[in-house]
Amino acid sequence: MNPVKALRAAPSYATYASDDLARMTWYGLSAGERGLLESMARVYWVDEYLPSDPRLIALACRLDAHDAEELLTAGVLAHFERDSNGHLHHVELRRQMQNIAATREKQSEGGKAGVSRREANKAAKRKPSSDAASRETKVDHQVDHQVDHQVDHQVNAKVDHMVPERKKERTERQNQKQPCRT
């Protein structure tokens, strides 16, 4: 059995400018606070959490520690929830990550179901039937009738082989048909 391959994280997240501009929690921030919020969102998307210590946030966001401490206001923290370990989680990005994971899980289940159906269909086709001989006789009769009809009703008809000549169980007449005209 092949080991399950881990899928890469989604390369981007959705940001809707109209939603941001309509929310006071965003337009009420200063330009510096919005910059810190966006930097924190990017770190969160990659690492799936943020430390709660302002100095570590500054380090993760590649900012000066003093600037990060000054800009890390209640307005910026309103976009995050704290877990039991004290890590910060971006509310909107966490929701997007959960939606992506749920979609991938459904796609995986659908793929597995498709493989199961395909394998079941293949197995059903391979399974020999108890009346295989009667089916072959019926098919041979249909083929014989078609060949006889084509050859008997057309004068000077050219014929081609319906089945490869190497199948010796057919007679020469049973192994012929009218060639395609295209």
For 35-94, write each residue's pLDDT tens digit. 999 999 999 999 999 999 999 999 999 999 999 999 999 999 999 999 999 999 999 999
**Which residues make up the CATH 1.10.10 domain(s) of the chain?**
10-127
pTM comes to 0.59
CA distance 93 to 20: 14
- pLDDT greater than 60 at residue 147: no
- Contacts of residue 135, defined as CB under 8 A and 6 or more positions apart, other chains included, come to 129
Task: Indicate the CATH number of 10-127 among 1.10.10, 3.90.930, 1.10.3120, 3.30.70.
Answer: 1.10.10
Alpha-carbon distance of 34 to 21, in angstroms, equals: 12
